[in-house]
Amino acid sequence: MNGRPDLSVQIGKVSLKNPVMPASGTFGYAVEMVPYIEVNRLGAIMVKCVTLKPRLGSLPHRLAESPSGSVCTIGLQNVGFERFVKEKMPFLRELEPPLFVNIGAQSVEEFAELTSRLNKVEGIDALEINISCPNVKKGGIQFGVDPDSTYQVVKAIRQETDLTLVTKLTPNVTDITVIAKAAVSAETDAISLINSPLAMVIDIEKRRSRLGRNLTGGISGPAIRPIAVRLVWQVAQAVSVPVIGVGGITCAEDALQFIIAGASAVQIGAYNLIDPTCLIKTIDGIEAYLIRKKIGRLRDLIKSLEVS
């Protein structure tokens, strides 16, 4: 093998120099992370979910811990489309990696409206469609638990933009491949999974949820990693578009499990909050693994699980 291995991957129309990006909601609007990591080394930037109007988010006491896990409910607190474009985009536009913007809405029409506006904003490379937030409900049901709603949302967004679309799925379903296929038939360019499973932690002294009046939250962190790896493997078998794996990744060894299971790229979430340098260490670790295994291109490792 000559030279360094090729870590580049393709997600829809977007070329990533390496497969590592943050998960939405754990990286702020990137500016918060600049004191801690070399942001330009990332494969892509993923920012906090943007909604059409600002959202105050969940009530206080939003975070609880569980073994190797974080149970939290932020409730999509964000500054809304207008302030995002005015205050956050100027900085984001200066960064080298492609920019993925996570989007949320409470109706199909709102998703379409938000997309149509973002489509006119310079500097955005891809949209990640959040139909899977466990902490925001639309009439009690999320879009992502139903294949028809998933299809309608993705289709409505597709009609508004030629940007690369990634649909982020919830694990809170009986058969995730049905939802993945619905998103693909509505022409998503890629699938990301998993968003956080719905969870609860109780303080037995007070007989109250550790998330106070919010009661429940989504669990993330290493506790969910084996579930996420299994779901990525299932979805990668079921669809032909690229899959982005997310769930409890802390290092290259964790990320490689997802890649071998079928992920073309990976996102790191909760662990950014503990060790902001983990994204960079993961990129370096993946490269070291490819050198050690004498694999010239990362693409050759994707979906390479031996099953016999």
Select from 81, 99, 79, 80 the least CA-distant residue to 91.
Answer: 99
**Active-site residue identified among 49, 72, 133, 278:** 133
- Residues 65 and 23: their CA atoms lie apart, in Å, by 19
- Please identify which residue in 117, 222, 284, 287 interacts with other proteins, judged by CB under 8 A: 222
The 3-class SS string of 231-297 reads HHHHHHHHCCCCEEEECCCCCHHHHHHHHHHCEEEEEECHHHHHCCCHHHHHHHHHHHHHHHCCCCE
- Please identify which residue in 24, 43, 45, 70 interacts with other proteins, judged by CB under 8 A: 70
96 binds other proteins (CB under 8 A): no
- Residues 128 and 239: their CA atoms lie apart, in Å, by 17
Residue with tokens 């769930």: 247
- Please identify which residue in 6, 8, 10, 61 interacts with other proteins, judged by CB under 8 A: 61
CB nearer other proteins, residue 63 or residue 295: 63
**Bridge partners, 268 (sequence order):** 22
- Residues 58 and 60: their CA atoms lie apart, in Å, by 7
- Please identify which residue in 2, 3, 56, 306 interacts with other proteins, judged by CB under 8 A: 56
Q: Which of these segments, 3-11, 63-71, 192-200, 295-303, binds other proteins (CB under 8 A)?
A: 63-71
CB of 64 vs other proteins, minimal distance in Å: 7
Instruction: Check: CB of residue 24 under 8 Å from CB of residue 49.
Output: yes
For 279, what's the count of Cα atoms within 13 Å in the CB-facing half-sphere? 32
- Please identify which residue in 33, 199, 241, 259 interacts with other proteins, judged by CB under 8 A: 33
CB nearer other proteins, residue 145 or residue 251: 251
Size, binding site for other proteins by CB under 8 A: 44
Active site residue 278: no
CB nearer other proteins, residue 147 or residue 269: 269
- Residues 195 and 198: their CA atoms lie apart, in Å, by 9
Q: In this structure, what token pair is assigned to residue 77?
A: 């607190």
- Please identify which residue in 28, 160, 281, 303 interacts with other proteins, judged by CB under 8 A: 28
CB nearer other proteins, residue 58 or residue 170: 58
Where on the chain is the footprint of other proteins (CB under 8 A)?
25-28, 32-33, 35-37, 48, 53-54, 56-65, 67-70, 72, 74, 77, 79-80, 212-213, 221-222, 250, 270-277
Indicate which residues carry an active-site annotation: 133
